[in-house]
Amino acid sequence: MSRIVYVNGAYVPEEEATVSIFDRGFLFADAVYEVCAILDGKICEFEGHVERLIRSLGELDMGMPVSKEELLEIHRELIKRNNVEQGAIYLQITRGTADRDFVYKKDMKQTLVMFTQAKGLTEEKAGIRVVSAPDIRWGRRDIKTVQLLASSMCKTMAKAAGKDDAWLVQDGFVTEGSSSNAYIVTKDGKIVTRNLSTSILHGITRKAILRLAAELDMEIEERPFTIAEAQDAAEAFFTAATAFVYPVIEIDGVELNGGKPGPVAKRLNEVYIEESRKSYI
């Protein structure tokens, strides 16, 4: 059965959804996106994702093509029409369509597309094996743009090497995962994750997890860490809307926690799911 997707005001079967070849999202990656988790048919962290969306758009001289309320309504309608219980809902806003020109105009008619992806989020997590790769992305990773080729290449390289994902390294320190925020748990129990800057995406799941960890009296250090420090850690994990808290069991061939998911990642994932069930809409 084909999905129903959303394109500029219309709900259509995915085969019928089209966007112009002159869309600047297609020609220049002149577009931003967001991905919210769907749990029990409800949307997790909607407010946080919209807040980041508005910020990303603002950094690129764009506004919202629809109101926050309309956006929520489209999310809900799409989840309902596709009957999704668990998974992700993707939205992309491009600057719109114009003849190819490096100079963009302000206040163009933007393109808004959305679709759902059904995927289990609450099952037992086996843990992933990561390899490090140079972070060759652009310098404004805090803006959630669709220019994901570097991330896509790194993840494909990791898969070709028989692993699951890449952790990206710049100037000797891990920035983040190819599509997630990266964490280690030191042997004395501290959670370490890179501090916010233009070098990483300001993860919505990251924000929630750091808040929950603090509530659980876990110690947190927001600072860069190296691959060597990560390999020597008690455990490691990553967060993303599409995975919640996911254990990392191997880094560049070195197993962590005996190659098994660690207790901190497991606990934080459970608490995150519990908390999401209280706040999703």
Q: Which residue ranges make up the site for ligand PDD (CB under 6 A)?
A: 35, 176, 179-181, 201, 203-206, 239-242
Q: Which residue of the set 125, 144, 155, 266 is catalytic? A: 144
Nearer to ligand PDD, 112 or 201 (CB): 201
Is 144 a known active-site residue? yes
One-letter identity of residue 158: A
CB 198 within 8 A of CB 144: no
Taking the complex as a whole, the smallest distance from the CB of residue 187 to ligand PDD amounts, in Å, to 25
Nearer to ligand PDD, 114 or 241 (CB): 241
Taking the complex as a whole, the smallest distance from the CB of residue 79 to ligand PDD amounts, in Å, to 17
Taking the complex as a whole, the smallest distance from the CB of residue 109 to ligand PDD amounts, in Å, to 25
CB 22 within 8 A of CB 67: no
Q: Which residues contact 149 (CB under 8 A, 6 or more apart)?
A: none
Nearer to ligand PDD, 165 or 250 (CB): 165
Alpha-carbon torsion (215, 218, 219, 225), positive or negative? negative
Residue 73: CB atoms within 10 A of its CB come to: 12
What residue ranges in 108-257 does DSSP mark as E strands? Answer: 111-118, 128-134, 165-170, 173-177, 181-185, 191-193, 220-222, 235-240, 244-251, 254-255
Q: Are strands 128-134 and 165-170 parallel, antiparallel or unpaired?
A: parallel
User: Which DSSP letter does residue 16 get?
Assistant: G
Q: What is the dihedral of CA 228, 233, 237, 239, to 10 degrees?
A: -70
Q: Which residues contact 260 (CB under 8 A, 6 or more apart)?
A: 127, 249
Residue 17: CB atoms within 10 A of its CB come to: 18
Buried-exposed string 202-225: b where 16+ CB fall within 10 A, e elsewhere: bbbbbbbbbebbeeeebeeeeebb
Active site residues: 144
